[in-house]
């Protein structure tokens, strides 16, 4: 970020359910940070997954955030309207020779993991986000790959982490508001899917492209995306995109220690509104779950 950059933050929900109190916390942190620095707060709708996202949830997002007292410029960027932009980024990585098609089903991956657990020294590696893809399709010969493509077997596209990391000459880092300089370790996530079988991009690819295009200077989001940031830093390097400053805030939890989830109907912003709580009581309510 240069001195002249205006602080720009974003709240980027997926309209796949109603927002909950944790979203209110995240949106308010972004909003208040932007206001404090004379900057701009924007909303981005992350709706690449057409099977899970619904227009009524998008409308509910605007209603909930408006009720919280937030305002934002319109029109709002919807990722589903920019598949061409993500396709260009994907093509760039492909031209660099950094992608490979992955034909695996969940079952293929499960079988591979079961097999390798019989030979634990060859076994799958666990990352902080679960099992790291055991690179089954990376081992296919060109002929095997060609055959599967010709047969029209659905495939995702994965980043070849080994090849990508060979391009990294010095450590990649980012600044985290809470914890300072962070050295990115993209290997934590392995060969991540950048274009899914059912749609031609992924959360990881779209988010770094959009944060760059929209001039986001500060990405303030939940701790659950901390490991994703390690991978996002690599994508920024490979695609020549800006690296924002990050902040990973704590997640709200229920009294029994579980993370709030979209399925927890009782603490959606909608249900909070309907229970007669007023927006100026939200901060106190958030504190109860922090
Ligand atoms: N769309 C993501 C979500 O709803 C958030 C993405 C981000 O903040 O980077 O969890």
For ligand 1, mutation pick of 57, 221, 262 (most atoms within 8 Å of CB)? 221
Ligand 1 residue neighbourhood (C-beta within 6 Å): 12-14, 46, 207, 221, 225
Q: Which atom of ligand 1 is nearest to the CA of 221?
A: 8
pTM: 0.94
Give the domain ranges of the chain: 1-80+252-290, 82-212+226-241
From the list 16, 99, 20, the residue with the least C-alpha distance to 58 is: 16
The CATH number of 1-80+252-290 is 3.40.50.620
Write the residue with the smallest CA distance to atom 10 of ligand 1: 13
Write the residue with the smallest CA distance to atom 2 of ligand 1: 13
Strands 245-249 vs 218-222: parallel, antiparallel or unpaired: parallel
Same fold, 1-80+252-290 and 82-212+226-241: yes
Residue-by-residue pLDDT tens, the chain, 290 positions: 554 579 999 999 999 999 999 999 999 999 999 999 999 999 999 999 999 999 999 999 999 999 999 999 999 999 999 999 999 999 999 999 999 999 999 999 988 888 877 666 666 678 888 889 999 999 999 999 999 999 999 999 999 999 999 999 999 999 999 999 999 999 999 999 999 999 999 999 999 999 999 999 999 999 999 999 999 999 999 999 999 999 999 999 988 888 887 666 679 999 999 999 999 999 999 999 99
Between the CA of 117 and the centroid of ligand 1 the distance, in Å, is 33
For domain 82-212+226-241, the CATH architecture is 3-Layer(aba) Sandwich (3.40)
Write the residue with the smallest CA distance to atom 4 of ligand 1: 13
């Amino acid at each position: 970020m240069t001195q002249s950059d205006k602080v720009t933050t974003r709240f980027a929900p997926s309209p796949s359910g109603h927002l909950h109190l944790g979203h209110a916390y995240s949106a308010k942190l972004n909003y208040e940070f932007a206001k404090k620095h004379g900057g701009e707060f924007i909303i981005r709708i992350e709706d690449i997954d057409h099977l899970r996202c619904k227009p009524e949830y998008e409308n509910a997002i605007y209603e909930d955030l408006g009720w919280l007292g937030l305002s934002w410029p319109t029109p709002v960027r919807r990722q589903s309207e920019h598949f061409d932009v993500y396709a260009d980024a994907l093509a760039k990585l492909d031209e660099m020779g950094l992608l490979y098609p992955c034909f695996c089903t969940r079952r293929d991956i499960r079988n591979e993991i079961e097999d390798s657990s019989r030979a634990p020294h060859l076994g799958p590696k666990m990352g902080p986000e679960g099992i790291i893809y055991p690179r089954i399709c990376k081992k296919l010969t060109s002929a095997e790959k060609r055959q599967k493509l010709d047969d029209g077997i659905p495939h995702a596209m994965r980043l070849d982490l080994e090849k990508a990391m060979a391009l990294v000459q010095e450590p990649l880092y980012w600044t985290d508001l809470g914890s300072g300089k962070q050295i990115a370790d993209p290997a934590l996530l392995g060969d991540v899917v950048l274009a899914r079988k059912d749609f031609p991009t992924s959360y990881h690819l779209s988010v770094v492209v959009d944060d760059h295009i929209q001039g986001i200077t500060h990405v303030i989001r939940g701790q659950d995306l901390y490991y994703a940031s390690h991978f996002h830093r690599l994508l920024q390097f490979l695609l020549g995109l800006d690296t924002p400053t990050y902040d990973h805030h704590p997640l709200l939890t229920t009294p029994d220690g579980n993370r709030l989830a979209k399925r927890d109907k009782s603490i959606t912003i909608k249900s909070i509104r309907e229970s007669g709580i007023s927006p100026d009581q939200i901060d106190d309510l958030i504190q109860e779950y922090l």
